Structure 1
Amino acid sequence: MISRNIISSIRKATITNNLGLKRLISTSVFLSQKASVTIPRPNVTSKDYKPPVTLDRELPDPFRNKKLNRRYFVAYAIGITLSCIFIFNYEKTQSPIITSTLYFLRRSQPSTDSLGKDIDFTSSWPWIWGTLNTVQGIIDIEFKVQGSKGAGVVKLNATRESKLHPFDVHAFVLEIDNKDGSKQIIDLTQDPNIDFDL
């Protein structure tokens, strides 16, 4: 009898332990499944939280209006080209070569006799025609000037071999249109009072 009671109690304990172990395993599996399925919600009150970007409508197709895009591109290219041309011309007007030329004209007796005093550009937006490249040593320019008596065109042509050499002035003239339609050409390099040097 004692042995039977002991055996039955051992069986009950084993069954109880097996049931507890099964419950423990099933509980851990349920919790792991629940943890894997559950998505943590972001903290809305947090300052670092940024809501996802959503689009209410489709993005426009950039290739839909090809003709209009070509017109915009052509207008943009023309605008950029004109801007570069005006910038380069402005740099020419601020060049030391142009400043020296105007300074010589204001001191030269033949130019003041023909143009008068206060010799300067004909407009507030002067245009310098030709090549003005002191790095390569090429100067071949012309621009309009005016004074109190009249207006004319200055033409300057000079070159140099290198940066160590001064410019050789080949032509430096002032052309003035007379009232009868003829042109008066004054060679400014022949002015004995002033030595023009670049």
Structure 2
Amino acid sequence: MFRPQLLRNAAPTLRRTLTVHAKTGGNPFITRRADRALPDPSSSRRKLFYTIPIFGAGTALTCWVIFNYQKMSSSVVASTLYSLRVHPRAREVLGDEIAFAQYLPIISGKMDQLHGEIDITYKVRGKKQNGTVRFRSTRKGRMGLFDTDVWTLETADGQVIQLLEGGHAAPSSE
């Protein structure tokens, strides 16, 4: 005994009811409902194409800043800057109070101590003038010592000073 009329009436009807907002006590139109229509995914593609390059550029800039800070706080950079401060020829050319030229210095070049290759360049300033320091050192063999190939100071007027020659690279006890 099948009664199709009875089944037709037994089907539940979905009715959308408006509930009041919990915080304001009124306005049912600012509520969020689980059965609301979803946004169209094709309309947000333009936003996606704009945000991906911005995110990529931000990530690349952040990585560059982190790696530059790692080079800046390296013992190699600290040692070369200290040796530059006490080098008599560098003090004669740059003047006293030798330091990085910028507040956040840019250390360019390669610094791979594990594989024995250091080739860096950074800008310095003194009381008299500014300059650029270039330091290159290599290590022969796995357990060998580093040999300094190039350590120069190029001033703002183009004069290149070889810091390996003519004077101690570090203060002596004399």
Q: TM-score, normalised by structure 2?
A: 0.74
Which of the residues 59, 62, 68 maps onto 1:83? 62
Question: After the TM superposition, which of the residue ranges 82-91 and 160-169 deviates more from structure 2?
Answer: 160-169
Q: Do the aligned residues in 1 keep the contact of 2:87 with 2:167 (CA within 8 Å)?
A: no
State how far apart, in whole Å, the 2-side matches of 1:161 and 1:193 are. Answer: 24
Which of the residues 81, 91, 96 maps onto 2:75? 96
For structure 1, the residue ranges without an aligned partner over 5 or more in a row are: 1-53
State how far apart, in whole Å, the 2-side matches of 1:162 and 1:59 are. Answer: 64
For structure 2, the residue ranges without an aligned partner over 5 or more in a row are: 1-32
Match of 1:175, SS state, is strand
**Which residue of structure 2 aligns with residue 70 of structure 1?**
49
Match of 2:52, SS state, is helix
Cα deviation 1:150-198 (Å, max 9, x = unaligned): 11000111111345221111110000122xxxx21111001333359xx
Which structure has the larger Rg?
Answer: 1
**Which residue of structure 1 aligns with residue 122 of structure 2?**
143
**Which residue of structure 1 aligns with residue 134 of structure 2?**
155
**Which residue of structure 2 aligns with residue 190 of structure 1?**
165
Letter in 1 for 2:166: D
Greater RCO structure (CA 8 Å; 6+ sep): 2
Percent identity over paired residues: 34
**Which residue of structure 1 aligns with residue 93 of structure 2?**
114
Q: How does 1:24-43 map to 2 (within 5 A)?
A: none
State how far apart, in whole Å, the 2-side matches of 1:63 and 1:167 are. Answer: 59
What number of residue pairs does the alignment pair up? Answer: 140
Cα deviation 1:79-106 (Å, max 9, x = unaligned): 0011001110011000000000001001
Cα-Cα RMSD: 1.9
| Cα 1:138–1:113 shift into 2, 3 Å | same
Letter in 2 for 1:169: T
